[in-house]
């Protein structure tokens, strides 16, 4: 079963700082929910990156909670999909509207019996909004997919993923997996990461595959890639 909610951004996006940004996480009145596993898929084509985050969170409480999600996003990113799937298969899917349409869309959604929510800017580049429900002692999967134009400087393209999970919790994740597919019209001579120990494979003159996988791991800084 699927429920739809509208997320209206009522603030203007601000650029993320050059400092390591906190990763997306779930928060409720008693603190943060622990992130258990994270799977990330990235497709980069001609300087445009599409990132899909799949994050499994756990509710350790004996009661159902309705958490908020906090997530970093900058002015050049566009959220394409957004959802929470609970342990019983209920999918709460959402759409994000820009600030100039927020009030109109919010009111229309309420009139149609939908579940509108307003995203609030907690700090520059970090937004918070309500999302679905998680039952007691249960897991839920949060999915966020967004696209962005990557910065280009001195012949190199850079990709940056907010990955500082240690800022929000001390428990290690069961598994972390990042898979990337990279292609360009011109030759890609090298793909390197100064932040993480990746496996990079050149499959053709214009294509690379990148993999990063770890078990029992707690990311403490952004994932950065240069090509």
> What is the structure's pLDDT at 171?
95
Q: Set out the domains of the chain in order of their start, with CATH numbers.
A: 2-226 (2.60.40)
Please report the pLDDT score of residue 90 as a whole number.
80
At 31 the pLDDT is: 86
pLDDT at 107: 64
Q: How far apart are CA 55 and CA 143, in angstroms?
A: 6
Torsion on CA atoms 142, 170, 197, 141, rounded to nearest 10: -10
Residue 132: the pLDDT is 75
Per-residue pLDDT of the chain (227 residues; tens, 9 = 90+): 555 555 554 433 333 343 445 688 888 888 889 999 999 999 999 999 999 999 999 999 999 998 888 888 776 777 777 788 888 888 877 666 555 565 566 566 556 655 555 555 556 667 777 777 889 999 999 898 889 999 988 888 999 999 999 988 999 999 999 999 999 999 999 999 999 999 999 999 999 999 999 999 999 999 999 99
- Do residues 165 and 219 lie in contact, with contact meaning Cβ atoms separated by under 8 Å? yes
Can you give the pTM of this predicted structure? Answer: 0.82
pLDDT confidence of residue 226: 94
What confidence score (pLDDT) does residue 3 get?
A: 54
Given this model, what pLDDT does residue 59 score? 94
């Amino acid at each position: 079963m699927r429920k739809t909610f509208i997320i209206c951004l009522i603030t203007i996006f601000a650029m993320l700082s050059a400092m390591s940004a906190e990763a997306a996480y779930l928060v409720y009145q008693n603190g943060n929910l622990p992130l258990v596993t994270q799977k990330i898929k990235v497709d980069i084509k001609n300087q445009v990156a599409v990132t899909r985050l799949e994050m499994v969170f756990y509710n350790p409480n004996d009661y159902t909670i309705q958490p908020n999600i906090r997530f970093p996003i900058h002015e050049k990113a566009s959220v394409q999909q957004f959802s929470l799937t609970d342990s019983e298969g209920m999918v709460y899917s959402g759409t994000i509207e820009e600030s100039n349409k927020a009030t109109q869309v919010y009111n229309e959604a309420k009139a149609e019996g939908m579940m509108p929510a307003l995203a609030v800017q907690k700090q520059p580049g970090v937004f918070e909004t309500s999302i679905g429900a998680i039952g007691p002692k249960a897991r839920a999967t949060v999915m966020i997919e967004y696209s962005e134009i990557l910065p280009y400087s001195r012949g190199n393209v850079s990709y940056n993923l907010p990955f500082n999970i240690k800022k929000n919790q001390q428990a290690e994740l069961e598994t972390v997996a990042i898979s990337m597919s990279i292609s360009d019209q011109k030759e890609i001579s090298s793909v390197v990461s100064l932040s993480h120990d990746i496996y990079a494979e050149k499959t053709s003159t214009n294509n690379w595959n990148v993999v990063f996988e770890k078990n029992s791991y707690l990311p403490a800084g952004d994932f950065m890639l240069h090509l």
